[in-house]
Amino acid sequence: MTFRAAFKLIWFGFEIGTSLVDYLFTTAFVSPKNRTIARAAWLHRACIRHIKIYSCTVSFSGPVPKTGLLVSNHLSYLDILVIASITPAVFVSKSEVRQWPVIGWLTSLAGTIFIQRERRTQVGPINHQILATMDAGALIVVFPEGTSTNSEEVLPFRSPLLEPVTKGHHPISVGYLHYELDGGDARNEVCYWGDQSFFPHAVNLLGKKRVRATMRFGTFQRTTDDRKELALQLRKAVLKLKAEN
């Protein structure tokens, strides 16, 4: 472990304490009616601070979504920090994240909606949570590829979690996220994919001097209420943003 990585782990611990104090005074005792928005705002503040630990600079273009559904490609655990540092949001994440030390607890506090994708019986209740979150006025972020990649391609989008927006009540936005890494290979040292192990990957990334994240947002006009067709159209819209890279 490098000196830089060790220092940043200590910094990370300090920021966790700061975030918990912030949560206690701004979010913990908010009424259930307003808790979703309060949690998203808390995560936004926390991620603005935490993204600095990774020496990550964030740039973005396009109309930043505030409500409805945001569909984006998925590259790394940094994605949540990057997107949430730009705009308050609630994320849909795989259930395994809940078991990660510290990270799982913090994501739970943020109101993350966890799903076991292999259990189809969960999709209905999860979609109800997604719809309720959007109805509360919050932005929901979904990574419909179902897994993270090394940025070389955008995998086909899975459609089940798109059901809440097929009827046209809530706005849909698309996003494309891209990383660059000084002194390294972003495809393997920022992107977290395949059979990589979380802790060694995270420590290695903390030792890097500079990460640059670029997020492009775009609006999307639905023309179908069929979720499978919607998934195809959304992937094309994300690929169009990717082509602008």
User: Alpha-carbon Rg of the chain, whole angstroms?
Assistant: 17
Please give the pLDDT value at position 118: 65
* Spatial distance between the Cα atoms of 16 and 92, rounded to a whole number of angstroms: 21
3-state secondary structure of 69: strand
DSSP string of 201-227, one letter each residue: HHHHHHT-S-EEEEEEEEEE----S-H
211: which strand partners?
A: 56, 181
Where residue 236 sits, what CATH number does that domain have? 3.40.1130
61: which strand partners?
A: 216
Give the number of domains in the chain.
Answer: 1
Query: Mean of the per-residue pLDDT values for the chain?
Result: 93
Global pTM value: 0.95
**Domain, as residue range, for 217:** 3-243
Q: How far apart are the first and last CA of the chain?
A: 33
Q: What is the pLDDT of residues 142-186, one digit of tens each?
A: 999 999 999 999 999 999 999 999 877 899 999 999 999 998 999
User: Among 173, 69, 64, which residue's Cα sits nearest to residue 130?
Assistant: 69
